[in-house]
Amino acid sequence: MTKAAVALVPLALTSLLGGCRESAPEQRWLELTQVRPQDRLGVYLNERLVLHFSEALEPESVHGGSVRVLASDGAAARGRLSVEGQRIEFQPAPVLAADLADGGLRPATRYTVELAGFPRADGLRSQSGLPLASSLRWSFETVAVTEPRSGFVFEDSSPTSGSPVILRSLVIRPLQPIRLTCEEPIDPTTLRSEDFELVPEVALPGQGRTRGDVIPLVARLVRNDERQPYKDDAAVIELRPRDRLLAPGTYGLVPKRTVRLRDFGGHPLWVLNSSYREGLKLRVEPATGEDEGAITRHVESFLDARTLSTQAVSGADGSARWSGNGRVEVLFPAAAGRGRDGDVLLAAGDLPSRELHAATLSLASSTRVSARAAGAVVLRSQGRIELAGELRSERAESAADRATLEAALAAARARQGGRAPTVSEAIDALLEADAAVVVFVAGADLVISGSIELDRPLVLIAGGRIRLANERQLRVPRLLFLDAGTRQLGFTDVGGAPLLARAADLDWVLDPPSSNPLVRPLKLALVSSSIPPAGGAARWRSTPTVNLRAGAGAARVLYVGEHAPNAGSRAPDVVVDDPAALVDCPTVRLLVELEVFPGPSWDPPFVDDVTLEYEPLGPKRDR
């Protein structure tokens, strides 16, 4: 659909050239004579800018410096400049995204056209050497887009009807997209993933079924050029399964009857098969070893702990250790105990007076517990410790208490010939001296979302991470801690951000158990930061190489696909066991899960390295 006022008519150039010039026997300047579009408001997003001059132009003088189209924020409009005789054309880059913001011209945006002329040496000039009389500027504004649509936003080259969309992928391989083409461009706002489904053809006559479960698809416009004679793929749609790799077999593509595809003029577009006989059927053949593009390899060897995300993993007891030694591993402290007391929920009242050996330990948010005992209290948990309630002191620390604590720590060091004691040795020394101290030891994460206010030292030890909602939750005269997840000064908050604690690290050494103490399985996990760290993947290759050792447990690596933003937002992350199943996910994060089982020996699993292969984002290649 074209606007009424787009015909090439002579333009009064008073506002552009500063007034009309009287004709002269000899022309000394190159002059601009016509401009399209004439209407400067509501310019379509695909509308060409056409400039006519008084003489044929020197092509070398037409470049990005002599002809500029700038948005009001200073960004250059993307597109292609071409010159033919006395005419310059600027063709905006095609629009592909549903929000219409990725094209050469953005909706509801004011643009300024700048032409460089005399006295600039790089300005426009004619083939005979005449320069443009002076530099020129003028503005236009693109059409605004509203929902529901109140008018056209594109110029349509087929104003009477729409062209069919043809299924071209009659035979594909598992990693290849399903391709649909159209001989005219498509309005990107009308392409919806939910309008397409893929159904496997299966033989289940005994169950009255001939089709399998519906496979959801992700639809993307990868080409949306202007219509050209004898060209049937001005627009190209790619469909990929959202969350799986297609198995070999026959499938049926099912566009919904309410499919919303429209051309630039708003005409419906119908999906047909290029064979016209088989319906919308396609066949997936087994993959081959043929290289389908330039492949980049990323090897994550777990040597740089800075690429670790501190995000907690849902469903895990705590965080695995990625310390920079080249492995993701379990670091379970022997001091986490024997688990003989089972799952313990601390009740209102007093803390246990001496020791606790829990499988898991928690303090509910509505519960307040008091520390009345005069000596050492050591609360151990093989799994997670969650303290959401309040822990308070009922007595003040005395000078004798402080002296007892220091003497116990010095004695533990002296027994080891001056070396730093292990966690187990140090805690034994505190219990032997009955020093006034409260100790929490978690085999996994130690999560504190409540508050602790004590008049005696507090010791926190975790085989995973120590996680706080806020560091001000801890009010103690002395805080000693060991976070085996990072072995760094500071805590990690519940959401994953670091918290700098005003305390000193313990110099105790975390010692593993000599035999398997677990009373139930222990699951630890972590996620990496985004891979690749720069750029992105157009497509992930199947079956990454993972070097691991299961030991007396289990280890596996999953892949968290991070979707590319679409229409100003990003779809939720998806977790798969093969990154080749991911669609529209330029980056992934590794999800490493380690599980240790109860048994006769202590032989925890670890992951050594993971190698991913992917086709990097870049210019599309014809396949």
The domain tally of the chain equals 4
User: Based on the domain organization, do 545 and 494 belong to the same domain?
Assistant: no
Q: What is the reported pLDDT for 430?
A: 87
The residue range of the domain holding 320 is 298-325+519-616
User: Based on the domain organization, do 225 and 204 belong to the same domain?
Assistant: yes
Cα 205 to Cα 361: distance, rounded to the nearest angstrom? 54
Q: What is the reported pLDDT for 212?
A: 63
Take residue 272 and report the two structure tokens written for it.
Answer: 């047909």
User: Based on the domain organization, do 184 and 264 belong to the same domain?
Assistant: yes
Output the CA angle 504-509-511, nearest 5 degrees.
Answer: 140
With respect to residue 512, please indicate whether it lies within any of the assigned structural domains.
no
User: Based on the domain organization, do 488 and 410 belong to the same domain?
Assistant: yes
Residue 620 backbone class (left: φ over 0; alpha: ψ -120 to 50; beta: rest): beta
Q: What is the reported pLDDT for 47?
A: 94
Run means of pLDDT, 10 residues per run, the chain, 623 residues: 38 39 64 90 94 94 92 88 94 90 91 94 92 94 86 83 87 86 93 89 52 80 85 88 81 81 90 71 78 73 81 90 85 94 90 88 92 85 94 67 69 71 87 87 93 87 86 78 57 47 60 92 94 85 86 93 69 83 88 94 92 77 36
Q: What is the reported pLDDT for 566?
A: 60
The runs of H, that is alpha helices, within 273-347 are none
User: Based on the domain organization, do 72 and 44 belong to the same domain?
Assistant: yes
With respect to residue 52, please indicate whether it lies within any of the assigned structural domains.
yes
User: Based on the domain organization, do 357 and 438 belong to the same domain?
Assistant: yes
Cα 80 to Cα 74: distance, rounded to the nearest angstrom? 18
DSSP letter, residue 64: T
The runs of H, that is alpha helices, within 475-523 are none
Cα 187 to Cα 220: distance, rounded to the nearest angstrom? 12
User: Based on the domain organization, do 352 and 488 belong to the same domain?
Assistant: yes
DSSP letter, residue 264: T
Residues forming beta bridges with residue 466, ordered by sequence position: 446
Q: Taking the CA of residue 30 as centre, how many other CA atoms within 13 Å lie in the half-sphere pointing to its CB?
A: 27
- Do the beta carbons of residue 241 and residue 215 sit within 8 Å? yes
The runs of H, that is alpha helices, within 130-257 are none
Q: What is the reported pLDDT for 418?
A: 66
Q: How many CB atoms lie within 10 A of CB 133?
A: 19
Q: What is the reported pLDDT for 254?
A: 84
Closest to 592 in 3D by CA, of 526, 523, 496: 526
Q: What is the reported pLDDT for 439?
A: 92
- Do the beta carbons of residue 116 and residue 63 sit within 8 Å? no
Take residue 285 and report the two structure tokens written for it.
Answer: 């053949």
User: Based on the domain organization, do 234 and 278 belong to the same domain?
Assistant: yes
Residue 338 backbone class (left: φ over 0; alpha: ψ -120 to 50; beta: rest): alpha
User: Based on the domain organization, do 587 and 455 belong to the same domain?
Assistant: no
CATH code, domain carrying 194: 2.60.40
User: Based on the domain organization, do 246 and 383 belong to the same domain?
Assistant: no
Take residue 91 and report the two structure tokens written for it.
Answer: 């063709």
User: Based on the domain organization, do 487 and 587 belong to the same domain?
Assistant: no
User: Based on the domain organization, do 241 and 366 belong to the same domain?
Assistant: no
